[in-house]
């Protein structure tokens, strides 16, 4: 059997690219992937109207939807809510449109939270993997010890820096990617940098496939147009990644 995943990220409702979203929606309806995976930054400022727009868009699909929180998905203007209940609006969206677990004969998805409400550095937008977040993902990962399927972790921030062995903006990212890959993670899907990539990262005794999706918003970086990934996953075979971009 084959499992196909549409991997999108950084939709940023509020500054979304409507033409790109319409193209993705048509592709989902026509091709019916096994799941639509969005690795965070569903909104631009986490306002209620932006979350309503996100909910309206995701509700149209009759395929499973999987979402992760991004740094833009916590309240930006309401600091009391950001510090006391940072994920209330995101959790309401997830409950309305998304699934909690996803498994097929080829794939298992496991979430990793890389966002925090604040950090002892600026900007707060960069990734920070807490020990508690790592422990939850490791606990999920341990349930699939020696499972022959592709065990894929999903997160918003890349766990690695742009160059192997170089600087890494995600706090504890280098440590966590090594731990998860050693524990059975075959691939990790991320977003955040608005730049698509697909490569193998390796260290002492471990290797894993790192896959990043671009943006579907008007917030373009580095000359990269809006894009998304299509993953074809077959048990026992390497994951195939097709990049679909828009001018």
CATH at 126: 3.60.21.10
In which domain, by residue range, is 38 found? Answer: 3-245
Within its chain, how far is the Cα of 142 from the centroid?
Answer: 21
Number of folded domains that form the chain: 1
Entry pTM: 0.97
Structure tokens at 12: 């940023």
Mind listing the pLDDT tens digit for each residue in 55-102? 999 999 999 999 999 999 999 888 889 999 999 999 999 999 999 999
- The CA-based angle 16-173-195, given to 5 degrees, is 30
Helical axes 88-97 vs 48-59, angle rounded to 10°: 20
- The CA-based angle 131-137-207, given to 5 degrees, is 100
**Residue 28 confidence (pLDDT) above 80:** yes
Distance CA 150, CA 195 (A): 24
């Amino acid at each position: 059997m084959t499992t196909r995943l549409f991997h999108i990220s950084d939709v940023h409702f509020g500054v979304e690219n409507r033409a790109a979203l319409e193209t993705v929606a048509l592709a989902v309806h026509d091709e019916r992937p096994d799941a639509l995976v969005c690795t965070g930054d569903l909104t631009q400022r986490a306002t209620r109207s932006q979350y309503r727009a996100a909910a309206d868009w995701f509700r149209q699909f009759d395929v499973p939807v999987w979402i992760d929180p991004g740094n833009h998905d916590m309240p930006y203007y309401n600091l009391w809510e950001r510090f006391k209940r940072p994920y209330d609006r995101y959790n309401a969206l997830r409950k309305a449109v998304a699934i909690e677990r996803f498994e097929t004969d080829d794939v298992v998805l496991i979430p990793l939270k890389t966002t925090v409400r604040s950090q002892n550095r600026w900007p707060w937008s960069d990734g920070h993997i807490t020990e508690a977040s790592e422990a939850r993902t490791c606990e999920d990962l341990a349930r699939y010890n020696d499972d022959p399927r592709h065990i894929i972790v999903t997160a918003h921030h890349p766990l690695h820096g742009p160059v192997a062995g170089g600087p890494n903006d995600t706090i504890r990212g280098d440590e966590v990617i090594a731990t998860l890959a050693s524990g059975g993670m075959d691939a990790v899907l991320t977003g955040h940098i608005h730049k698509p990539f697909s490569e193998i990262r390796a260290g002492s005794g471990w290797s894993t496939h790192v896959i990043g999706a671009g943006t579907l918003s008007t917030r373009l970086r580095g000359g990269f147009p809006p894009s998304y990934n299509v993953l074809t996953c077959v048990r026992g075979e390497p994951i195939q990644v097709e990049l679909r971009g828009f001018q």
